[in-house]
Amino acid sequence: MTDPVNAFVAGPRARISGRAGGALAGLSFAVKDLFDVAGIPTGGGNHDWAKANPVPERHAWAVQTLLDAGADLVGKTITDEVSLGILGENAFDGTPTNSAAPERVPGGSSSGSAAAVAAGLCDTALGTDTGGSMRVPSSFCGIYGIRPTHGRIDVTGLMPQAPSSDTAGWFARDAATFARVGAVLLGEAPGPLPTKLLIAVDAFAFADPEVAAALQPMVRKLERVVGPAREEIMAPQGLSVWARAQRSLQPVEAWQTFRPWIERHNPRMAFSVAAGLIAGSQVPASERNWAALMREEARARLRHLLPPGTVLCLPTTPFPAPLRGLPMPALQPMRDRITCLCAQGGLTGSPQISIPGATVDGAPVGLSIIGGRGTDASLIALAQAMEAIS
């Protein structure tokens, strides 16, 4: 298989046939290079990571589960360095091509998995989402993606970043494949469909007006499935306040995760990645303590908003994918705005899917749907129902 979109990591392609006759027979899948595949170094998007870590002897749980269900592994995909990145530009491995908008970034950190699925190089692909790493590339590449309920998908064999926010998810180009893979990984068939729809007006107002407008037909379609929507503020304390809490909690945990490696090996990393880790090392205890309380408030808010049967929709990203190769000072404000629409995932652990179907300036943007914790299968049913009335 060639790699026309630079989705796969360099070197011999990891290829393992799935068990014959499983539920996913005939499907091909790729895995983000944070998931262990037995006998192959886990690269983690940083060329000094594998040197310091043993070659895994077992497949990650999610890899093993897809293989057991009959899907065929076709390769490991590029990730933002140690999963710290939201745009998909990797200084070691290059930037996977966003085939829906080739002049733009694919989004990250599950960049290669999203690019491979979007380009049709495989049917599905595993990724991870700590602060938006499934949702953002889903939106930017115009494909389905899920950040499952925190703790729902076993992360054994997955390179950690910030364990209290880390999740494993998957991409697909169509809702049927998305649901088929979900049934295996969740161990639960799609459904039931939600019956109440909320619109996060703070999030829509925060997005570029063109994005909010482009998503309106998808919201109307959602209403046809779920029923008339009610407008709600998702984050009464402020999207930027939730983002601040996430931006305090996540880098602190990431620093705890990577500190032993860094201190022992002084690895090379892109300046922006080092800067993020150093920022994590410098968060004062008072800020961490406040952020932990704000996390509790955010969880309480979503519990209140999302009783069983209720879902909330919002733009996955405030804008379509930025152009490739922009300088750091241009990128940082974009990262910050993205975090304002993604922070609820890491803070609350609620499941969120991003559904493709809108474009701005010819580039995709996704509509996100959030449900209460544990309602992953309902969100997948909703994706199927929406696609059915296209």
Shortest approach of a second copy to residue 270 CB, angstroms? Answer: 5
In angstroms, rounded to a whole number, what is the distance separating the alpha carbons of residues 307 and 175? 25
Is 282 exposed, middle or buried (CB count within 10 Å of its CB: 0-12, 13-18, 19+)? exposed
Of 105, 159, 168, 270, the one binding a second copy (CB under 8 A) is 270
Of 18, 45, 127, 267, the one binding a second copy (CB under 8 A) is 267
48 lines the binding site for a second copy (CB under 8 A) = yes
The DSSP-derived string for 287-356 is HHHHHHHHHHHHHHHHHHH--TTEEEEEESSSSSPPBTT--HHHHHHHHHHHHHHHHHHHHH---EEEEE
Show contacts with a second copy in window 73-92 (CB under 8 A).
89, 91-92
Distance of alpha carbon 162 from its chain centroid, rounded? 14
- Judged by CB under 8 A, the stretch of 122-130, 142-150, 321-329, 347-355 that binds a second copy is 321-329
Question: Measuring CA to CA, which residue among 272, 328, 322, 329 is closest to residue 139?
Answer: 322
- Mind telling me the catalytic residues? 32, 109, 133
57 lines the binding site for a second copy (CB under 8 A) = no
**Count of residues that interact with a second copy, criterion CB under 8 A:** 22
Element (H, E) at 363: strand 363-371
Dihedral angle sign, alpha carbons of residues 177, 309, 364, 116 = negative
> 223 or 261: whose CB is closer to a second copy?
261
> 111 or 375: whose CB is closer to a second copy?
111
> 220 or 265: whose CB is closer to a second copy?
265
> 57 or 263: whose CB is closer to a second copy?
263
- Judged by CB under 8 A, the stretch of 37-45, 190-198, 264-272, 303-311 that binds a second copy is 264-272
- Judged by CB under 8 A, the stretch of 159-167, 206-214, 327-335, 368-376 that binds a second copy is 327-335
Strand partners, 353: 146, 369
Shortest approach of a second copy to residue 328 CB, angstroms? Answer: 5
Residue whose token pair is 């998908």: 153
Within 8 A by CB and 6+ apart from 285, the residues are none
329 lines the binding site for a second copy (CB under 8 A) = yes
Would you tell me which residues interact with a second copy (CB under 8 A)? 48, 89, 91-92, 262-272, 274-275, 277-278, 327-329
